[in-house]
């Protein structure tokens, strides 16, 4: 299943909750995501490169921290506080929720003008940097237990969130470019915003539950 088919399925959940208020067909929104990808292949390629650079930067930064790595080196402060016992499960979930909601709100604002598009590339690079830095430091701090938690729980969940944000950035960039080229754009982002928000929330919920159920056992037992 492609990432756009994944969002298409989430769209069905979203519109069932909204009782069809927007009046957009399932096939219509699926086409919108697919068309957004086809029309933004260069943007998607650039996002992949920027994210990859961010990921590599995070890994090299973690290696440089290797000798003096502690929990305070985590850039994901909510995860740091959770692992140290200062933050509860619900607090972890809502702090993450606030973080990615702010990100997609900024991306939404960038869709109004092409001059704000560079912000989106910075966001995706920074998210990639945080992902690899936090996973790497966890491995450094906890050894085998950190590898299990980082690679089996944090990495896949954060990668899915990174992809979700990248897809939304493609759609936002396309709207900004179309508006500049033709003076207007009928492509509304509001429905895609809520679909991406739902996707990120589902991933966040899964990651939080997995960390709650398994991370302490993996880190402490192995």
Which distant-in-sequence residues (6+ apart) come within 8 Å of 176 by Cβ? 110, 111, 112, 113, 114, 116, 117
Among 75, 49, 36, residue whose Cα is nearest residue 196: 36
Cα–Cα distance measured from residue 100 to residue 132, given in angstroms and rounded to the nearest whole number: 17
Q: Do 26 and 12 form a contact (C-beta atoms < 8 A)?
A: yes
Phi first, then psi, for residue 121 (nearest 5°) are -70, -35
Cα–Cα distance measured from residue 41 to residue 46, given in angstroms and rounded to the nearest whole number: 9
Residue by residue, pLDDT tens for the chain (222 residues) are: 444 454 555 555 445 445 444 444 445 445 555 555 566 678 888 999 999 999 999 888 877 766 555 555 555 656 666 766 667 788 888 988 998 999 999 999 998 888 999 999 999 999 999 888 878 877 877 777 778 888 888 889 999 999 999 989 988 988 888 888 777 766 678 888 999 999 999 999 998 898 888 765 555 444
Q: What pTM was estimated for this model as a whole?
A: 0.75
Cα–Cα distance measured from residue 3 to residue 48, given in angstroms and rounded to the nearest whole number: 14
């Amino acid at each position: 299943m492609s990432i756009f088919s994944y969002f298409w399925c989430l769209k069905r959940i979203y519109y069932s909750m909204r009782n069809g208020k927007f009046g957009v067909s399932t096939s219509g929104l699926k086409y919108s995501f697919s068309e957004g990808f086809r029309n933004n292949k260069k943007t998607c390629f650039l996002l992949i490169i920027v994210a990859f650079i961010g990921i590599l930067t995070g890994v090299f930064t973690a290696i440089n921290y290797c000798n003096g790595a502690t929990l305070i080196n985590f850039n994901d402060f909510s995860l740091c506080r959770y692992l140290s016992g200062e933050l509860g499960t619900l607090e972890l979930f809502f702090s993450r929720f606030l973080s990615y909601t702010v990100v997609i709100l900024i991306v939404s604002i960038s869709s109004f003008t092409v001059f704000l598009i560079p912000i989106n590339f910075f966001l995706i690079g920074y998210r990639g940097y945080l992902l690899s830095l936090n996973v790497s430091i966890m491995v450094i701090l906890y050894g085998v237990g950190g590898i299990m938690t980082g690679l089996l729980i944090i990495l896949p969940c954060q990668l899915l969130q990174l992809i979700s944000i990248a897809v939304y950035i493609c759609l936002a960039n396309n709207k900004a470019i179309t508006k500049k080229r033709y003076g207007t754009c009928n492509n509304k982002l509001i429905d895609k915003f809520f679909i991406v928000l739902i996707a990120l929330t589902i991933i966040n919920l899964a990651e939080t539950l997995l960390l709650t159920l398994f991370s302490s056992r993996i880190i402490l037992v192995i």
